[in-house]
């Protein structure tokens, strides 16, 4: 790996500026889901264990570069205290200047400082050098544990990493290792599943994957666009008819790269987009004019299962059907269950990410068995698209 971890750093007596993602959902001033807060605990605990003083840098919501009580990180303090019981957590009213310096100076060994929302500073989203220098002046070492913010070059994720000895935190380390195992240097053959609503939002993703994986399973609404591209009617299905040419280009690129594309061979259609709508299973080329394709059929699932069984690595983004509506979650559930079982048996490394994908795999009770589930959203997708992530690149120097 080109980046350092906490194991490579001497933190004894050092103030450790630690970029975390605690951008949690808050309603009426209360955190409604503390998952992101819980995930930073190993990093904070390890820094303290190595004799360092963790000073947390984080963004929260989208304030417009100035203080706004609605976006104050003060609101997450109770949840942070609950996740780190027995620790003194000092809150600083600003992420730079006198309030931050005073809080850091007051730290005893074992204490934690939480700095106010970095986005209250107009320079944060501009990756401003002066802001980064003011942050860096507070500490001795920089740790980035916010993979989910690494696709953005901001002062607290990018510029600051060049100013101090820098390394990845535990969560960043786990994420990068999992992604490296899935697509960087995977065990082959590799299969990618790409589903979801639209081709247009995942063009770069498809274009990158066909050059990297051995098998590409295309499902969900985007499969409909590929059917259209081959002259197959899809009735009233969600499909981007103006993307047919683009879809054909992806198929050509895949052929040239030796990537086998798997499209639905059978489909589940309905007349209404709602749960338990009357449905029928038909060959993929037989969608009636007044119907829409809402899921892949059992023969398609059998083919996907065969592909999974022939592969050593799986990377998955996007459900195979309208999984929020029963029974149109069937293909997604069946494929997810097979991937989970193969992973449990030690036959498959399985990595998945994406907002709806994580929800779908949870619904299928498959998430716990996957090798790694990324909750990073945009950063995960950009990484899958083959784009360099500024926050990670900055750690590599």
Q: Which residues are catalytic?
A: 36, 198, 355, 378
Does 204 bind ligand ADP (CB under 6 A)? Our answer is: no
Q: Which does 293 bind (CB under 5 to 8 A by kind): Mg ion, ligand ADP, none?
A: ligand ADP
Residues 155-214 that bind Mg ion (CB under 5 A): none
Backbone angles phi, psi at 118, to 5 degrees: -60, -25
| CB of 3 or CB of 328, closer to ligand ADP | 328
Does 356 bind ligand ADP (CB under 6 A)? Our answer is: yes
Does 359 bind Mg ion (CB under 5 A)? Our answer is: no
- The distance of closest approach from Cβ of residue 68 to Mg ion in the complex, given in angstroms and rounded to an integer, is 27
Residues 150-189 that bind ligand ADP (CB under 6 A): none
Does 356 bind Mg ion (CB under 5 A)? Our answer is: yes
Indicate the angle between helix axes 244-257 and 220-229, nearest 10 degrees.
Answer: 90
- The distance of closest approach from Cβ of residue 78 to Mg ion in the complex, given in angstroms and rounded to an integer, is 30
Q: Which stretch binds ligand ADP (CB under 6 A): 70-78, 90-98, 133-141, 354-362?
A: 354-362
Asked if residues 97 and 120 have their Cβ atoms less than 8 Å apart, the reply is no
Count interface residues toward ligand ADP (CB under 6 A). Answer: 19
State which of residues 61, 189, 298, 355 lies at the interface with Mg ion (CB under 5 A). 355
- The distance of closest approach from Cβ of residue 255 to ligand ADP in the complex, given in angstroms and rounded to an integer, is 25
Does 378 bind Mg ion (CB under 5 A)? Our answer is: no
Does 238 bind Mg ion (CB under 5 A)? Our answer is: no
- The distance of closest approach from Cβ of residue 356 to Mg ion in the complex, given in angstroms and rounded to an integer, is 4
Does 111 bind ligand ADP (CB under 6 A)? Our answer is: no
**Residue nearest ligand ADP by beta-carbon distance:** 196
State which of residues 157, 357, 374, 375 lies at the interface with ligand ADP (CB under 6 A). 357
Task: Single out the residue of 118, 147, 114 nearest to residue 135, CA to CA.
Answer: 118
| CB of 111 or CB of 356, closer to Mg ion | 356
Q: For residue 277, what are its two tokens?
A: 């709508």
- The distance of closest approach from Cβ of residue 323 to Mg ion in the complex, given in angstroms and rounded to an integer, is 11
Q: Which stretch binds ligand ADP (CB under 6 A): 20-28, 111-119, 181-189, 194-202?
A: 194-202
State which of residues 293, 311, 376, 379 lies at the interface with ligand ADP (CB under 6 A). 293
Query: Within 10 Å of residue 49's Cβ, how many Cβ atoms?
Result: 11
- The distance of closest approach from Cβ of residue 228 to ligand ADP in the complex, given in angstroms and rounded to an integer, is 13
- Cβ-based neighbours of 21, under 8 Å, separated by 6 or more: 36, 40, 58, 59, 145, 146, 147, 148, 149
- The distance of closest approach from Cβ of residue 381 to Mg ion in the complex, given in angstroms and rounded to an integer, is 10
| CB of 204 or CB of 356, closer to Mg ion | 356
3-state secondary structure the chain: CCCCEHHHCCCCCCEEEEECCCCCCEECCEECCCHHHHHCHHHHHHHHHCCCEEEEECCCCCCCCCCCHHHCHHHHHHHHHHHCCCCCEEEECCCCHHHHHHHHHCCCCCCEEEECCHHHCCCCCCCCHHHHHHHHCCCCEEEECCHHHCCCCCCCCCHHHHCCCEEECHHHHHHHHHHHHHHHCCCCCEEEEECCCCCHHHHHHHHHHHHHCCEEEECHHHHHHHHHHCCCCCCCCCCCHHHHHHHHHHHHHHHHHCCEEECCCEEEEECCCCCCCCEEEEECCCCCCCCEEEEECHHHHHHHHHHHHHCCEEEEECCCCCCCCCCCCHHHHHHHHHHHHHHHCCCCEEEEECHHHHHHHHHCCCHHHCCEEECCCHHHHHHHCCCCCHHHHCCCC
Q: Could you tell me if residue 50 is left (phi over 0), alpha (psi between -120 and 50 degrees) or otherwise beta?
A: alpha
Does 220 bind ligand ADP (CB under 6 A)? Our answer is: yes
| CB of 57 or CB of 352, closer to Mg ion | 352
Q: Which does 63 bind (CB under 5 to 8 A by kind): ligand ADP, Mg ion, none?
A: none
Binding to ligand ADP by CB under 6 A, coded x per residue (else -) over 294-333, reads: x----------------------xxx-xxxx---------
Does 238 bind ligand ADP (CB under 6 A)? Our answer is: yes
> Which residues contact Mg ion by CB under 5 A?
355-356
> Which residues contact ligand ADP by CB under 6 A?
195-197, 220-221, 238, 293-294, 317-319, 321-324, 354-357
């Amino acid at each position: 790996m080109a980046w350092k971890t906490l194991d490579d750093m001497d933190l004894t007596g050092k103030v450790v500026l630690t970029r975390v993602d605690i951008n949690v959902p808050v309603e009426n001033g209360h955190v409604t889901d503390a998952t992101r807060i819980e995930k930073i605990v190993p990093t904070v605990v390890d820094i303290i264990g190595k004799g360092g003083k963790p000073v947390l840098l984080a963004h929260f919501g989208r304030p417009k570069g100035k203080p706004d009580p609605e976006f104050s990180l003060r609101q997450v303090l109770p949840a942070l205290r609950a996740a780190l019981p027995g620790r003194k957590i000092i809150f600083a009213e600003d992420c730079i200047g006198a309030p931050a310096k005073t809080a850091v100076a007051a730290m005893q060994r074992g204490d934690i400082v939480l700095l106010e929302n970095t986005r209250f500073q107009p320079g944060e989203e501009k990756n401003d050098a002066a802001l980064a220098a003011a942050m860096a002046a507070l500490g001795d070492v920089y740790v980035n544990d916010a993979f989910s913010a690494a696709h953005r070059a901001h002062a607290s994720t990018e510029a600051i990493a060049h100013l101090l000895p820098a390394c990845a935190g535990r969560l960043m380390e786990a994420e990068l290792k999992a992604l490296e195992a899935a697509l960087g240097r995977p065990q082959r053959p590799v299969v990618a599943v790409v589903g979801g609503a639209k081709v247009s939002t995942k063009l770069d993703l498809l274009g990158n994957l066909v050059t990297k994986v051995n098998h590409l399973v295309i499902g969900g609404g985007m499969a409909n666009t590929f059917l259209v591209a081959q002259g197959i009617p899809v009735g009233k299905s969600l499909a981007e008819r103006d993307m047919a040419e683009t879809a054909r280009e992806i198929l050509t690129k895949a052929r040239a790269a030796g990537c086998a594309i798997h499209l639905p061979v059978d489909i589940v259609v309905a007349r209404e987009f709602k749960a338990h709508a009357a449905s029928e299973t038909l060959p993929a080329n037989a969608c009636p004019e007044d119907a829409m394709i809402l899921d892949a059929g059992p023969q398609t699932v059998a083919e996907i299962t065969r592909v999974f069984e022939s592969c050593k690595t799986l990377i998955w983004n996007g459900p195979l059907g309208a999984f929020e509506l029963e029974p149109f979650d069937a293909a997604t559930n069946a494929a997810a269950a097979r991937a989970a079982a193969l992973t449990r048996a030690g036959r498959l490394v399985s990595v998945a990410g994406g907002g709806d994908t994580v929800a779908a795999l949870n619904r299928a009770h498959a998430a716990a068995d996957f090798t790694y589930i990324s909750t990073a959203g945009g950063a995960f997708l950009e990484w899958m698209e083959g784009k360099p992530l500024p926050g990670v690149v900055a750690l590599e120097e």
